[in-house]
Amino acid sequence: MLKTLASLLLTLLVIATGCRKSDRQNDTDTQSSADYLQAHTFYANTATTVFDLLRGRPEIYLDADTANHQSGSCPSIVISPAYPDSTTYPKTITIDYGAANCTGADGLLRRGKLQVVINLNPLFNGSVITINPNSFYINDKEIRGGITLDRQANTASGHAVYSETVTNGEIHQSATAINYFRQEITRERVNGDTTLTISDDEYKFTGSASGYGIRGTNYSVTINTPYYSKPGCAYFDNGVATLKPGNLADRTIDLGSGCNAAANVKIFETVSEIGVQ
């Protein structure tokens, strides 16, 4: 009887172990991780781009250098009230990339408009920047939903800090493939605060996000190790996040280092590379 029971328990253990191995072998999908990486990149990059375009504008910053204005036709920028009025708020800004794709200095293709409202000089706590895409595309994918940046108290080091929220985000990759996205992160300007040029601006990001991917999988994300962005780079590096997709196992997303669109995703012991499309 004892031998029979022991044999039965051993058989059940082998079956259970086999199932666990099989589950691991079948749990290899990285689509949710790719959806998240794309969404975070496009929305956070859009906010950075708005900062960059406005940093040299005397309508926004009284002591800005008028020679540092964005030049050329891509994008065109209209600010109201316009220069020389740098004190009247709110200000409404239209950033228009035009109907054809415009290649940015960071290599991304953009077209359409961004409608921006600033309630207060961005140097002051309590200033809020809202960004709303209007038929706006990045790399031929339509970006919808609002981005809000709420200026917080400076860090002990004097760095500017913004609470950055994406609400009702949608990335339309095609007529039927939609990447839904929400995000609440903290953006800290860790370098470049004391200048109004953009060549030294670097940001650190912490926080969380959630989404509903193009294959119908809900996911949530927590940034465990802060992300960083460098001037002129559309992408993010040095950061690590945990992504929880539906009922599947956690994924670890490692952004690595350097300015590139790639990241590594670890599922159990398997590591795969994904990239921003």
- Mean pLDDT in order along the chain per 10 residues (277 residues): 47 45 68 97 97 86 61 83 91 96 94 97 93 98 98 94 97 94 98 87 97 95 97 94 96 95 96 93
**Per-residue model confidence (pLDDT) at position 185:** 98
pTM: 0.89
**Per-residue model confidence (pLDDT) at position 28:** 85
What percentage of the chain reaches a pLDDT higher than 90?
Answer: 74
Q: CA 23, CA 25: separation in Å to the nearest integer?
A: 5
> Tell me, what DSSP letter sits at residue 105?
T
- Residue 239's nearest CA partner among 221, 252, 230, 226 is 226
Cβ count within 10 A of residue 214:
20
**Per-residue model confidence (pLDDT) at position 77:** 93
Q: CA 8, CA 1: separation in Å to the nearest integer?
A: 11
**Per-residue model confidence (pLDDT) at position 72:** 59
Q: CA 158, CA 161: separation in Å to the nearest integer?
A: 9
Q: CA 253, CA 48: separation in Å to the nearest integer?
A: 22
**Per-residue model confidence (pLDDT) at position 83:** 86
- Contact partners, residue 186, CB within 8 Å, separation at least 6: 152, 161, 162, 163, 164, 205, 206, 207
Tell me the per-residue pLDDT of 207-254, one tens digit each, with 9 for 90 and over: 999 999 999 999 999 999 999 999 999 999 999 999 999 999 999 999
Q: CA 243, CA 248: separation in Å to the nearest integer?
A: 10
**Per-residue model confidence (pLDDT) at position 60:** 85
Q: Is 95 exposed, middle or buried (0-12, 13-18, 19+ CB in 10 A)?
A: buried
Q: Is 210 exposed, middle or buried (0-12, 13-18, 19+ CB in 10 A)?
A: middle
Q: CA 178, CA 147: separation in Å to the nearest integer?
A: 18
Structure-block tokens of residue 139:
């790399």
**Per-residue model confidence (pLDDT) at position 12:** 44
